[in-house]
Amino acid sequence: MKLFILPFLTCLLTANAATASEEEKSFEAMSWLTGCWKGTGLGGQVEECWLQSDDNRLTGVFQLTKDGKQTFSEIVMIADFDGQTGMRVKHFDASFNQWESDQLTGHTFPLVSVGEYFIQFEGLRYELINNVCHVTLDMGTGDTIKKVQFVLNRN
């Protein structure tokens, strides 16, 4: 029995190390996103700032302003949620009231893939092209999905 447990534990620990290593590589590949960005989208000015923690999380803040007034803001996190990496978003109006649809966990975009200069979630893509961050968001449901573009420069 003891001879069986040792190889089993070795395989289990090796598998966990490989998974952790892949997760670390994914978050390392996303590190270009850190910092602050400013640009346009949704008919106004947008700003987004990202911080990376040591435990493989990216946390961001987003705001949309029109005519010099904040329309809404978001708190965003890219992390492991229930065993899957994704981006979770919670929206707030200008008075910092959380949107009804976000009352529990917010909206989560599952991670699809990460490349050297892109991060693809289901319905959301971040891509760095010539030091400009291009964000494409699928808005809507069913057959009425439209692609919304954001173009951001480092602030």
Termini Cα distance of the chain: 61
**98: its two tokens:** 């959380």
CB 119 within 8 A of CB 111: yes
Range list of H helices, 1-153: 2-29
**10: its two tokens:** 């070795």
What pLDDT is stored for residue 26 in this prediction? 77
pLDDT, mean of residues 38-62: 96
Using a cut of 0.95, tell me whether the model's pTM lies above it: no
- Which tens digit of pLDDT belongs to each residue from 52-92? 999 989 999 999 999 999 999 999 999 999 899 999 999 99
Point out which residues pair with 88 in neighbouring strands: 77, 108
Measure the CA–CA gap between 31 and 29, rounded to whole angstroms: 6
Measure the CA–CA gap between 122 and 111, rounded to whole angstroms: 6
